[in-house]
C-alpha cells in the first residue's frame, strides 16, 4: 500500500497529514484506506490558490502534490483607457479584475459589470461594483448575456489576460458591440530545475492531474515530452480538466483518460474528482 506523503509545498518540502481516525468495521476501514492512500493528485494551479486547494483535498483524504505550471504577473496598463467612455465592463477571469489598476477600476465602478462566474463577480464586488451580472462560467455564456443587455454599437471594456481564448471577443464582434481589450495580467510558464521537479513528483504514481487552463496543459505536456518528468508516474493517471477545450488540447494518446468538469469552475472540478 502506498505510503502517505502529505502534499508538496513547491520548494521540495512536504507537510505531514494528521493521523487518520481509526474505528468501525474492518470492511469500512479497508474502504477508507483505499480512498485515502490510493488517490494521489497533482494540482497545477498557480499559487496562492494551489496551496488552498491542496489543503482542502488533503482534508478530504487525498495525497496531494503541488506543481504550479503558470505564474500570474500583472501587466502595465495604459492610462489612456481611463478616458473611455464605456457602457459596461466585462471579465472572463477573476485575475483580470484583481490585477487591474485601482485607478482604472475606480473610473469604471459606476458601470454595470459582467462576470464569467462567481469568483469573478466577487472580485468586481470587492472593488466597489454594485451592478454585477453573472454568467454560467464560460466565455460563450458571458457573451450571450452581454449581447442581450446592449444595442449594437455599445462600447464594452474587456478586462483580460495577455494569453486568452478568442471566443468572447468573436461573439462580441458578431453581436455588433465595440470591444476594447484591456490586458491586465499574463500567465507565465514556470520552469523547474530537475532536482526540484524530481523532489516534488517523487513517490507513487499519480491517479489524477488537475488542469486549470490550456496554457497549463501545454506546459505539462512539454514536461513529459521533454523528459523532465517521468512518464511512468502518469501512465494510468486521469487528466481532470476545467473545461472541454482544455481536454481537447491534450495529445490524442491522453484524451481517453481525460475528463472535463460539468461547469468550468472549481466546484465543477471537485465534483468531477468525486466521480472519478
Q: What is the pLDDT of residue 48?
A: 86
Q: In the predicted model, what is the mean pLDDT of residues 124-151?
A: 92
Q: Residue 37: is its pLDDT beyond 80?
A: no
Mean of pLDDT over the chain? 84
Q: In the predicted model, what is the mean pLDDT of residues 30-43?
A: 57
Q: What CATH code would you report for 72-187?
A: 3.40.50.10090
Q: What is the pLDDT of residue 194?
A: 87
Q: What is the pLDDT of residue 126?
A: 96
Q: Residue 11: is its pLDDT beyond 60?
A: no
- The model's pLDDT over 180-213, given as tens digits with 9 standing for 90+, comes to 999 999 999 999 988 899 899 988 999 999 999 8
Which residue from 172, 209, 213, 174 is spatially nearest to 190, judged by alpha carbons?
213
Q: Which three cell numbers stand for residue 170?
A: 468573436
Element (H, E) at 105: helix 102-108
Q: What is the pLDDT of residue 1?
A: 38
Tell me if 7-16+32-69+190-275 shares its fold with 72-187. Answer: yes
Q: What is the pLDDT of residue 33?
A: 31
Which residue from 163, 167, 180, 213 is spatially nearest to 90, judged by alpha carbons?
180
**Please, are residues 151 and 127 in contact by the beta-carbon 8 Å criterion?**
no
Q: What is the pLDDT of residue 136?
A: 82
Q: Cα torsion at 21, 25, 30, 36 (round to 10°)?
A: -30
Topology at the third CATH level for domain 7-16+32-69+190-275: Rossmann fold (3.40.50)
Output the pTM of the full model. Answer: 0.75
Q: What is the pLDDT of residue 2?
A: 37
Q: Residue 168: is its pLDDT beyond 50?
A: yes
Share of the chain above pLDDT 70, in %: 86
Buried b (16+ CB within 10 A) or exposed e, 120-133: bbebbeebebeebb
Q: 248 or 38, which is more confident?
A: 248
Share of the chain above pLDDT 90, in %: 60
Phi then psi for residue 156, to 5 deg, are: -125, 130
Q: In what order do the strands lie in the sheet with 40-43?
A: 63-66, 40-43, 208-211, 238-241, 258-260
**Please, are residues 91 and 117 in contact by the beta-carbon 8 Å criterion?**
no
Buried b (16+ CB within 10 A) or exposed e, 43-67: bbbbeebbbebbeebbeeebbbbbb
Strands 155-161, 88-91: pairing kind: parallel
- Domain locations in the chain as residue ranges: 7-16+32-69+190-275, 72-187
Lowest mean pLDDT among 13-17, 64-68, 167-171: 13-17
Q: Tell me how far the alpha carbon of residue 143 is from its chain's centroid.
A: 20
Angle, to 10 degrees, between the axis of helix 139-149 and the axis of helix 167-174? 20
Under the banding of pLDDT at 50, 70 and 90, the label for residue 240 is very high
Amino acid at each position: 500500500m502506498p505510503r502517505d506523503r502529505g502534499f508538496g509545498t513547491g520548494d521540495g518540502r512536504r507537510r505531514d497529514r494528521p493521523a487518520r481516525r481509526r474505528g468501525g468495521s474492518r470492511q469500512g476501514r479497508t474502504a477508507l484506506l483505499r480512498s485515502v492512500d490510493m488517490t494521489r493528485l497533482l494540482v497545477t494551479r498557480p499559487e496562492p490558490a494551489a496551496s488552498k486547494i491542496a489543503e482542502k483535498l488533503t482534508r478530504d483524504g487525498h495525497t496531494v502534490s503541488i506543481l504550479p505550471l503558470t505564474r500570474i504577473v500583472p501587466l502595465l496598463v495604459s492610462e489612456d483607457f481611463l478616458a473611455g467612455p464605456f457602457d459596461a465592463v466585462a471579465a472572463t477571469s477573476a485575475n483580470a479584475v484583481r490585477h487591474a489598476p485601482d485607478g482604472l477600476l475606480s473610473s469604471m465602478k459606476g458601470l454595470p459589470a459582467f462576470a464569467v462566474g462567481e469568483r469573478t463577480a466577487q472580485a468586481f464586488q470587492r472593488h466597489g461594483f454594485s451592478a454585477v451580472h453573472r454568467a454560467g462560467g464560460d466565455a460563450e455564456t458571458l457573451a450571450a448575456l452581454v449581447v442581450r443587455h446592449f444595442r449594437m454599437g455599445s462600447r464594452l471594456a474587456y478586462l483580460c489576460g495577455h494569453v486568452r481564448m478568442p471566443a468572447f471577443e468573436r461573439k462580441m464582434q458578431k453581436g455588433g458591440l465595440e470591444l476594447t481589450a484591456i490586458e491586465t495580467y499574463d500567465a507565465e510558464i514556470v520552469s523547474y530545475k530537475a532536482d526540484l521537479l524530481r523532489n516534488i513528483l517523487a513517490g507513487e504514481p499519480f491517479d489524477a492531474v488537475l488542469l486549470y487552463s490550456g496554457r497549463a496543459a501545454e506546459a505539462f505536456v512539454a514536461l513529459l515530452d521533454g523528459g523532465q518528468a517521468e512518464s511512468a508516474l502518469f501512465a494510468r493517471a486521469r487528466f481532470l480538466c476545467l473545461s472541454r477545450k482544455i481536454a481537447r488540447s491534450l495529445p490524442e494518446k491522453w484524451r481517453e483518460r481525460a475528463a472535463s468538469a460539468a461547469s468550468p469552475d472549481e466546484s465543477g472540478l471537485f465534483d468531477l474528482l468525486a466521480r472519478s
